[in-house]
Amino acid sequence: MGGRTRAGDLRRPRFSVGAICGIILKAMPKVYLGLGSNLGDREGNIAEALRRLSEGVSIERVSSLYETEPVGYEEQPWFLNAVCEGETELDAEGLLRFVKGIEREMGRKETVRWGPRVIDIDILLYDDIVLE
């Protein structure tokens, strides 16, 4: 009692240090999100969406902006798009709720399928899960 511990008295840990570090250092899920806008200030809308996304996603990289023709409903302006890569503590369903909330807050309205929109945020990849 109250004496010194000798090296021979120490027990081996149940887990190796490598296993513990592997648990601690496990990265948050990697996510790739596609953003698009074809109404109003398209570039500003994407910048604002990225700002809002950063509240729940640690954004690591963002692609260059690029334009695409509308698909499905073609009588609308071209889309300006970007893809961002990041990590999040949210699970896949939580991330979906989060991005849909941003779309609503920014004024997205579901009118015509594939129709014009202020902002569209798609989860392209969540960790190793491809979402369609």
Catalytic residue numbers, as ranges: 108, 117, 120, 122
Cα 99 from Cα 123, distance rounded (Å): 8
Please check whether residue 65 is in contact with residue 80, taking contact to mean a CB–CB distance below 8 angstroms.
yes
Please check whether residue 49 is in contact with residue 119, taking contact to mean a CB–CB distance below 8 angstroms.
yes
Q: Mind giving me the DSSP string for 47-74?
A: HHHHHHHTTTSEEEEEPPPEEE---SS-
